[in-house]
Structure 1
Amino acid sequence: MMNRRNLLALLASTALAARFGSPAGAAPSPSASETPGSLPDKPRLVDLAAMGRKPGRRGGTVRMLIGGQRDIRLMPIYGYARLIGYDEQLNLQPDILESFETVEDRAFTFHIRPGHRWSDGSEFTTEDFRFCWEDIYNNRELHRGGIPTDLRVDNKAPTFEILDKWTVRFTWHAPNPDFLAQLAAPSPLKLAMPAAYLKQFHARYQDAETLAKLCKKYRVETWSDLQLKMSRTNRPENPDLPTLDPWCNTTEPPASQFVFARNPYFHRVDENGVQLPYLDRVLLNTSSSDIIAAKAGAGESDLQLMNIDFADYTFLKSAEDRFPIKVDLWKRTQGSRIALLPNLNCNDEVWRSLMRDVRVRRALSLSVDRTEINKAVFYGLARESANSVLPESPLFKPEYAAAWAAHDPAEANRLLDEAGLTRNAHGTRFLPDGRPATLIVETAGENNFESDVLELVSDHWAKIGVRLFPRVSQREILRKRIIGGETVMSVFQGLDNGVPTAEMSPKELAPTSNDQQQWPVWGLHYLSGGGDGHAPDMPEAIELVDLMRAWRRASTFGEREEIWHRMLQIFTQQVFTIGIVNAALQPVVRSSRLRNMPDKGLFGFDPTSYIGVYMPDTFWLEEKA
Structure 2
Amino acid sequence: MFKTTRHLLLGSALALLGMLPATAEIPANLQESAFWQSEVDSGDLPPAAERVPQDPLIVDLTAKGREFGEPGGTLRTMVTRSKDIRQMVVYGYARLVGFDENYEIAPDLLAAYENEGNLKFTLRLREGHKWSDGSPFTSEDFRYWWEDVANNELLSPSGPPDFLLVEGKPPVVTFPDEMTVVFEWEDPNPNFLQSLAQARPPFIYRPSAFLKQYHEKFADQEELAFQVEDARVKSWAALHNKLDNLYKFDNHELPTLQPWLNASSGKKIRHSFVRNPYYHRIDSNGVQLPYIDVVEMEIVAPGLVAAKTNAGESDLQGRGLAFRDASILKKGEADGNYKTLLWKTGVASQIAIYPNLNFEDDGWRDVLRDVRVRRALSLAIDRNTINQALYFKLAQPGAMSVLPASPFYDEENAKAWAQYDIDAANALLDEVGLTERDRDGIRLLPDGRPMELVIETAGERQEVENALQIVTDNWRDIGVDLVMRPLDRDILRNRVFAGNTMASVWFGWDDGIPQHHTSPAYLAPTDQVFLAWPKWGQYYQTGGGSGEPPDMPEAQRLMELAHDWEIASSDEARAAVWTEMLKIHANQLYAIGILNGAPQPIVVSNRLRNVPEQAMWAWEPGAHFGVHRPDEFFFAD
- Give the TM-score band, short-chain normalised: over 0.9
Asked if the contact 1:11–1:273 (Cα under 8 Å) also holds between the matched residues in 2, the reply is no
2 CA distance for matches of 1:344 and 1:548? 20
1:603–1:6 CA distance, 2 compared to 1 (3 A):
closer
TM-superposed CA distance for 1:514, in Å, is 1.5
Instruction: Note the C-alpha offset of 1:242.
Output: 0.5
Per-residue deviation, 1:65: 1.3
1:263-302: CA deviation from partner (whole Å, max 9, x where unpaired)? 1001001111211101101000111110110110111001
Tell me the amino acid that sits aligned with residue 248 of structure 1: L
| Pick aligned residue for 2:78 from 65, 80, 84 | 65
Q: Letter of the 2:350 partner, please give it.
A: R
Partner SS, residue 51 of structure 2: coil
How many angstroms does 1:499 deviate by? 0.8
Is the alpha carbon distance of 1:103 and 1:530 closer, same or farther for their aligned partners in structure 2, counting shifts above 3 Å? farther
Aligned to 1:439: 453
Distance (Å, rounded) in 2 between the aligned partners of 1:427 and 1:215: 65
Alignment match of 1:313 (pick from 326, 340, 352)? 326
Aligned to 1:197: 210
SS in 2 for 1:240: coil
Q: Distance in 1 between matches of 2:77 and 2:321?
A: 12
Alignment pair present for 1:597 and 2:614: no
Measure the CA separation in 1 of the matches of 2:562 and 2:21. Answer: 45
Task: Tell me the TM-score normalized by structure 2.
Answer: 0.94
**What aligned pairs does 1:243-262 form with structure 2 within 5 A after superposition?**
243-262=256-275
**CA drift at 1:4:** 9.8
Number of the residue aligned with 2:531: 517
Q: Secondary structure at the match of 1:160?
A: strand
SS in 1 for 2:336: coil
Per the TM alignment, residue 68 of structure 1 is displaced from its structure 2 partner at its CA by 2.2
The corresponding residue for 2:277 is: 264
CA contact (8 A) 2:36 2:277 kept: no
Q: Deviation per CA, 1:121-168, whole angstroms, max 9, x where unpaired?
A: 000000000110011111111111222212101111010111111101
1:469 offset after TM fit, Å?
A: 1.0
Residue 170 of structure 1 aligns with an amino acid whose one-letter code is F
1:16 correspondence with 2:30: no
1:547-592, CA deviations, whole angstroms, 9 ceiling, x for partnerless residues? 0000010010111111101110001111000000001100000110
> Match of 2:43?
none
Summarize the alignment of residues 417-436 of structure 1 with structure 2, pairs less than 5 Å apart: 417-424=430-437, 426-436=440-450
Cα RMSD (Å) of the superposition? 1.9
Report deviation, 1:470.
1.2
Q: CA deviation at 1:335?
A: 0.6
- Residue number in structure 1 paired with 2:501: 487
- The separation in 1 between residues aligned to 2:263 and 2:462, in whole angstroms, is 33
Q: Structure 2 residue aligned with 1:611, among 610, 625, 629?
A: 625
CA shift in 2, pair 1:48/1:144, >3 Å: same
SS in 1 for 2:471: helix
For residues 80-117 of structure 1, what are the alpha-carbon distances to aligned partners after superposition, in whole Å with 9 as ceiling and x for unaligned?
A: 00001100111011100000001110110000001000
2:6 match: none
Give per-residue Cα distances to partners, 1:179-238, cap 9 Å, x unaligned: 100000101122101000011111212244433322233332222221111011221110
| Cα distance between partner residues in 1 of 2:626 and 2:243 | 25
Per the TM alignment, residue 6 of structure 1 is displaced from its structure 2 partner at its CA by 7.5
Give the match for residue 491 of structure 2.
477
Using the TM superposition, give the Cα deviation of residue 13 of structure 1 relative to its aligned residue in structure 2, in angstroms: 7.3
Correspondence 1:272-351 to 2 at 5 A: 272-351=285-364
Aligned AA for 2:247?
N
Q: For residues 586-620 of structure 1, give each alpha carbon's deviation from its aligned partner in whole angstroms, at most 9, with x where no partner exists.
A: 00001101011100100010001101111110001
Q: Deviations 1:333-384 (Å, cap 9, x if unpaired)?
A: 1110010001111111111111111011111111111011111111111000
Amino acid in structure 2 at the alignment position of 1:487: T
Point out the more displaced range, 106-115 or 468-477: 468-477
For residues 137 and 7 of structure 1, what CA distance do their matches in structure 2 show? Answer: 36
1:616–1:6 Cα change, 3 Å: closer
Work out whether 1:75 is the aligned partner of 2:51: no
For the 8 Å contact 1:442–1:490, the answer to whether it is kept is yes
**C-alpha distance in 2 between matches for 1:243 and 1:270:** 21
Contact 2:17 2:63 in 1 (8 A): no
Residues 506-552 of structure 1: CA distance to partner in whole angstroms, max 9, x if unpaired? Answer: 12211111211111111122223333323211100010011000001
Would the aligned equivalents of 1:155 and 1:529 in 2 still touch at CA under 8 Å? no
Deviates more, 1:245-254 or 1:548-557: 245-254
| Cα distance in 2, alignment partners of residues 201 and 3 from structure 1 | 45
> Residue 49 of structure 2 aligns to a residue in which SS?
coil
User: Is the 1:551–1:560 contact (alpha carbons within 8 Å) kept by the matching residues of 2?
Assistant: yes
Contact preservation (8 Å) 1:514, 1:520: yes
Residue identity opposite 1:172 in structure 2: W
- SS of residue matched to 1:490: strand
Distance in 2 (CA, whole Å) between partners of 1:417 and 1:6 is 63
Q: Which residue of 2 aligns with 1:534?
A: 548
- Residue of structure 1 in register with 2:593 after alignment: 579
**TM-score normalised per structure 1:** 0.96
What does residue 25 of structure 1 align with?
A: none
Count, aligned residues: 617
Which has the larger displacement, 522-531 or 39-48? Answer: 522-531
3-state SS of 2:127 partner: coil
Given the alignment, which residue of 367, 371, 391 partners 2:404?
391
Aligned equivalents of 1:76, 1:377: Cα separation in 2: 32
The AA in structure 2 aligned to 1:75 is M
* CA shift for structure 1 position 36: 3.3
> Percent identity of the aligned residues?
44
* Alpha-carbon distance in 1 for matches of 2:196, 2:210: 23
Unaligned residue ranges in structure 1 (runs of 5+): 23-27
Partner of 2:404, secondary structure, is: coil
Does the 8 Å CA contact 1:12/1:272 hold for their aligned counterparts? no
Runs of 4+ aligned residues of structure 1 deviating over 4 Å after TM superposition are 2-15, 28-34
Structure 2: distance between partners of 1:564 and 1:3: 30
One of 570, 575, 580 as aligned partner of 1:566: 580
Query: Matches of 1:142 and 1:68 in 2, distance apart?
Result: 27
Deviates more, 1:43-52 or 1:577-586: 43-52
Q: Is 2:58 the counterpart of 1:45?
A: yes
- 1:12–1:271 CA contact under 8 A, matched in 2: no
Query: 1:364 and 1:167 mapped to 2: Cα distance?
Result: 55
- Matching residue's letter, 1:97: L
Which residue matches 2:413?
400
Distance 1:64 1:415, change over 3 A: same
- Residue 426 of structure 2 is aligned to residue 413 of structure 1: yes
SS in 2 for 1:17: coil
1:12 offset after TM fit, Å?
Answer: 6.7
Q: Which amino acid aligns with 1:100?
A: Y
Distance 1:113 1:574, change over 3 A: same
Query: Any idea what SS the aligned residue of 2:518 has?
Result: coil
Tell me which amino acid in the other structure corresponds to 1:373: I
1:93 aligned counterpart, secondary structure: strand
d(CA) in 1 for partners of 2:595, 2:253:
44
Q: Say if 2:35 and 2:293, in contact at 8 Å, map to a contact too.
A: no
What stretches of structure 2 of length at least 5 have no aligned partner?
1-11, 41-46
Distance 1:582 1:74, change over 3 A: same
Give me the whole-angstrom Cα distance separating, in 2, the residues matched to 1:276 and 1:535: 49
Helix, strand or coil at the partner of 1:464: coil
Give 2:51's aligned amino acid.
S
Shift of 1:20: 2.6
